[in-house]
Amino acid sequence: VWKETLNLLRGVLSEQEFRLWFFEVDYYDGSEETLRIRVPSSFVRDQIKQRYQRLIEDKFYELLGRKLLLDFVVEKRSLAQERPVSSSSPQREIPKERPPHPQLRRDYTFENFVIGENNAFAANAALAIAKNPGTAYNPCLIYGGVGLGKTHLLQSIGNSVYGEFQNLKVVYVTAEEFTNEFIASIQNKETHKFKTKYRNVDVLLIDDIHFFMNKTETQEELFHTFNALYDANKQMVFTCDRPVSELKNISHRLRSRFERGLNVDLQPPSFETRYAILKKKIEQKPIHIPDEVITFIAEHVTTNVRDLEAALTKLIAYAELVHRDITIDIAKSQLKDMFTTTKQTNITIDLIQKVVADYFGITQSDLRNKKRTRTVVFPRQIAMYIARELTEYSTTEIGEYFGGRDHTTVMYAIQKIESKMRTDPTLDTIIAQLIREVQEGTK
Ligand code: ADP
Ligand code: MG
34-39 and 26-30 strand pairing: antiparallel
52: helix, coil or strand?
helix
Please name which ligand lies nearest the alpha carbon of 105: 1
CATH code at 2-74? 3.30.300.180
How far does the centroid of ligand 2 lie from the alpha carbon of residue 127, in Å?
18
Cβ atoms of residues 402 and 420 within 8 Å: no
Distance of alpha carbon 102 from alpha carbon 379, whole angstroms: 42
State the DSSP code for 346.
T
Which of 152, 156, 303 is the best mutation target for the ligand 1 pocket, counting ligand atoms within 8 Å of the beta carbon and taking the most? 152
Cβ atoms of residues 139 and 70 within 8 Å: no
Cα end-to-end distance, the chain, whole Å:
60
Cβ atoms of residues 117 and 87 within 8 Å: no
Same fold, 120-265 and 349-441: no
Cβ atoms of residues 265 and 425 within 8 Å: yes
State the DSSP code for 208.
-
CA angle 413/417/420 to nearest 5° reads 140
Distance of alpha carbon 367 from alpha carbon 349, whole angstroms: 11
Distance of alpha carbon 218 from alpha carbon 181, whole angstroms: 10
Which residues form ligand 1's pocket by a CB distance below 6 Å? Answer: 112-114, 119, 144, 146-152, 277, 305-306, 309
Distance of alpha carbon 376 from alpha carbon 425, whole angstroms: 21
Q: Does the annotation place 216 within a ligand binding site?
A: no
Name the strand (E) or helix (H) holding 203: strand 203-207
Q: What is the pTM of this model?
A: 0.64
Work out which ligand 1 atom sits closest to the CA atom of 273: 23
Q: Does the annotation place 150 within a ligand binding site?
A: yes
CA torsion angle for 208, 213, 217, 218 (degrees, to 10)?
A: 0
How far does the centroid of ligand 2 lie from the alpha carbon of residue 356, in Å?
22
Give whole-number Cα distances, 77 to 24, 74, 93, 137, 366, in Å: 8, 10, 9, 22, 59
150: amino acid identity, one letter: K
CA angle 105/108/111 to nearest 5° reads 145
Residue nearest to atom 16 of ligand 1 (CA): 152
How far does the centroid of ligand 2 lie from the alpha carbon of residue 174, in Å?
9
**pLDDT the model gives residue 394:** 83
- Nearest CA to 348 among 307, 397, 310, 303? 397
Please name which ligand lies nearest the alpha carbon of 268: 1
Please name which ligand lies nearest the alpha carbon of 116: 1
How far does the centroid of ligand 1 lie from the alpha carbon of residue 114, in Å?
9
207: helix, coil or strand?
strand
> What are the residue boundaries of the structural domains of the chain, listed by start?
2-74, 120-265, 271-338, 349-441
Cβ atoms of residues 236 and 229 within 8 Å: yes
Work out which ligand 1 atom sits closest to the CA atom of 119: 23
Q: What is the largest CA-CA distance in the chain?
A: 81
Domain 271-338: CATH architecture, name and number where available: Orthogonal Bundle (1.10)
Residue 241: which residues within 8 A CB-CB, separation 6 or more?
Answer: 143, 144, 145, 146, 150, 208, 210, 433
Distance of alpha carbon 438 from alpha carbon 443, whole angstroms: 9
CB count in 10 Å sphere of residue 348: 17
The CATH homologous superfamily for domain 349-441 is: DnaA protein, C-terminal DNA-binding domain (1.10.1750.10)
Q: Does the annotation place 147 within a ligand binding site?
A: yes
- Nearest CA to 204 among 257, 252, 264? 257
Pick the CATH number of 120-265 from 3.40.50.300, 3.30.70.20, 3.40.50.2300, 3.30.70.270: 3.40.50.300
Cβ atoms of residues 38 and 77 within 8 Å: yes
Residue nearest to atom 14 of ligand 1 (CA): 306
Distance of alpha carbon 109 from alpha carbon 202, whole angstroms: 19
Distance of alpha carbon 136 from alpha carbon 129, whole angstroms: 5
**pLDDT the model gives residue 102:** 94
**pLDDT the model gives residue 79:** 41
Q: Render each residue's pLDDT in the chain as its tens digit; 443 residues.
A: 898 888 888 888 776 677 778 877 889 888 889 999 998 777 788 888 888 899 899 999 988 888 999 999 988 654 433 333 333 334 444 556 778 999 999 999 999 999 998 999 999 999 999 999 998 799 999 999 999 999 999 999 999 999 999 999 999 999 999 999 999 999 999 999 999 999 999 999 999 999 999 999 999 999 999 999 999 999 999 999 999 998 989 999 999 999 988 999 999 999 999 999 999 999 888 888 999 999 999 988 988 999 999 999 999 998 888 888 899 998 988 888 776 554 556 789 999 999 999 999 999 999 999 888 889 999 999 999 999 888 878 888 899 999 999 888 998 999 999 889 888 888 988 999 999 899 888 76
